[in-house]
Amino acid sequence: MKKLLLASFIFLAAFSINCSAQESNTQASSESFGNTLNLGVGIGYYGYVGHSMPVVHADYEFNVARNFTLAPFITVYRYQNYYYWGNPNYPYRNYYYHQTVIPVGVKGSYYFDQLLHAGPKWDFYLAASLGFAIRRTVWESGYYGETTVVDHGTSGLYLDGHIGTEFHLNDNLGLYLDLSSGISTFGLAIHL
């Protein structure tokens, strides 16, 4: 899945650069998608936890090629989980821990407005995010076992696929919805 998302991202980047050299100068082709600060809240699903959790997200989009943007991002979410542990000196029971996860990276978006004949009020895109996830784990007092949380197949690498839309309220503000394979957000797009 991760290789497929990365290959799609590379294909969209190449397709975007190729299209920018071939398209005529129309109203849709002159639209700029970059210079946008996106602030949102939403839900995330972090693999082995088994449930969704609230997230806070921010990114800043800038134009790279026609219909293609890059956006450095940061997202934060926190959850509680437990680990069953014990030994002859400590009773076997569930010990709780809190984990804070901060994915940091870059999101590449390709906009399909011209292909979909979207009006000036709407933007539609596919995107992929690549980065790493910083994790901090705090265990409850009284736990003396192994403090490394077993991630069951997840790693520090962060990779996510997105599909999204933005509705422009005016020239400077919009509302966006970003649905993804890991973290989905709704928020405010501020065009600078």
**pLDDT tens track for 3-61:** 544 444 454 444 444 443 334 344 444 567 779 999 999 998 766 566 788 999 999 99
Predicted confidence at residue 81, as pLDDT, reads: 84
- Main-chain phi, psi angles of 2, to 5 degrees: -65, -40
CA dihedral 33, 130, 19, 69 (to 10 degrees): 20
> Which residues, 6+ apart, have CB-to-CB distance to 141 below 8 Å?
none
Pairing of strands 36-45, 52-65: antiparallel
Mean pLDDT of the chain: 82
- Main-chain phi, psi angles of 21, to 5 degrees: -80, -20
Round to whole Å and give the CA distance between 169 and 171: 7
Give the gyration radius of the chain's Cα atoms. Answer: 20
pLDDT band (50, 70, 90) for residue 64 = very high
Round to whole Å and give the CA distance between 131 and 107: 9
**pLDDT tens track for 110-160:** 999 999 999 999 999 999 999 998 989 899 888 888 777 765 445 688 889
- Side chain identity, residue 83: Y
> CATH classification of 2-191, choosing from 3.50.50.60, 3.30.930.10, 2.40.160.20, 3.40.47.10?
2.40.160.20
Question: Which of 45, 36, 27 shows the shortest CA–CA distance to 171?
Answer: 36
